Amino acid sequence: MMKTRIAITLGDPAGISYEIALKAVNSLIVKKKCSPVIFGDKQILAQILPKYFKGNKLPFEFIESSNIGTSLKIGMPSQRAGVIAVSAINKAVKYCMQGNAFGLVTAPVSKESLKMAGVYHNGHTELIAAITKTKKVAMLMSCNKIHSVMITRHIPISKISENIKTKNIVETIKLSIDFIRKIKKKNIKIALCSLNPHAGDNSLFGTEEKKIILPAYKILNKSGFNISKPLPADSAWLKIKNGMFDLICAMYHDQVMIALKCIDASKIVNITAGLPFIRTSPGHGTAFDIAGKNKANANAMIEAIIYAVKYIQKTK
């Protein structure tokens, strides 16, 4: 049986990204399940490869996306690190768009480094959507059997309320359900989170539930989606943890990430729904504080690769 071909970007070279990517492709399960094609900086890869692989021959297919990694400072964002990271993303995305790989797994990038390099998208999700000219995408998170999606992503807390729109909630949930239906049962139960404590307590603690979130529920419910009315976020998470729902829709980033990291930080996979191909990433950042120390846990990177492989095998 031919192994699934997966493009993997090595991410920000100043953090743990190269380390976890190389540890992941050297793991037995990844070797068994897929044929990785690695995109990254030639100089940096040459420097660190001997730490994880023996011999002179590359144990995987490598496509050079940059060759400027000398004298890079580890453990901090920089323009050069951003250029290296975005070069790999650009080349790998185009590789997937040309049909050379079935999916893309991206090691973490630093948003600060990307900005220094002239990239003003807020992260992988928005950047890859722009490169592929995809108008609508959703940022899903998977952890064990739980799928979650966030309505707003990387924005300040102070701007969350103004960025939550009924139309956006409806579109995000529809996009997420279309994605999940390809790999799971058809009747997907959705837990819809409120924004405010106690779901606003009949507008005592805010009106977003009544004015924005409840209308989205009504539209989706009328369209046949199996969705709850806006629930207090703490109750919604307890219910999905206990298996009562398949997808939880949260209003903002930390409403998802705090809960998932408490459940199992090593199993979180970031997924972009809506792209022409599957794209996943580990659900953590560059961890500059442990960069270059060989302390990084590659489990989430492995999970991201295996998730992509399973998705491809179920949808081919």
- Range 238-249 burial, b when 16+ CB lie within 10 A, else e: ebbbeeebbbbb
Residues 6+ apart with CB under 8 A from 172: 138, 149, 151, 249
Q: Return the H-helix or E-strand segment holding 29.
A: helix 28-33
The pLDDT assigned to 195 comes to: 97
What does 277-310 look like in DSSP terms, one character per residue?
Answer: SEEEEESS---GGGTTTT----HHHHHHHHHHHH
pTM: 0.95
| Structural domains in the chain plus CATH codes | 1-134+275-316 (3.40.718.10), 136-270 (3.40.718.10)
Can you tell me the distance from the alpha carbon of 249 to that of 2, in angstroms, rounded to the nearest whole number? 36
User: DSSP of 251-267, one letter per residue?
Assistant: SSHHHHHHHHHHHHGGG
Strands 269-273 and 278-282 come out as antiparallel
pLDDT in tens, the chain (316 residues): 678 999 999 999 999 999 999 999 999 999 999 999 999 999 999 999 998 888 777 889 999 999 998 889 999 999 999 999 999 999 999 999 999 999 999 999 999 999 999 999 989 999 999 999 999 999 999 999 999 999 999 999 999 999 999 999 999 999 999 999 998 877 899 999 999 999 888 888 999 999 999 999 999 999 999 999 999 999 999 999 999 999 999 999 999 999 999 999 999 999 999 999 999 999 999 999 999 999 999 999 999 999 999 999 999 8
d(CA 306, CA 300): 10
Q: In whole angstroms, what is the distance from residue 12 CA to residue 9 CA?
A: 9
Among 141, 90, 84, which Cα is nearest to 109's?
Answer: 84
DSSP state, residue 188? -
What type of residue is 286?
T
What is the reported pLDDT for 122?
87
pLDDT on residue 26 = 94
Specify the 3-state DSSP secondary structure of 280.
strand
The dihedral of CA 205, 211, 214, 216: what is its sign? Answer: negative
Q: How far apart are CA 247 and CA 234, in angstroms?
A: 15
* Nearest Cα residue to 220 out of 284, 266, 250, 175: 175
- Read off φ and ψ for residue 313, nearest 5 degrees: -65, -30
Q: CB–CB of 110/119 below 8 Å?
A: no
pLDDT at residue number 70: 85
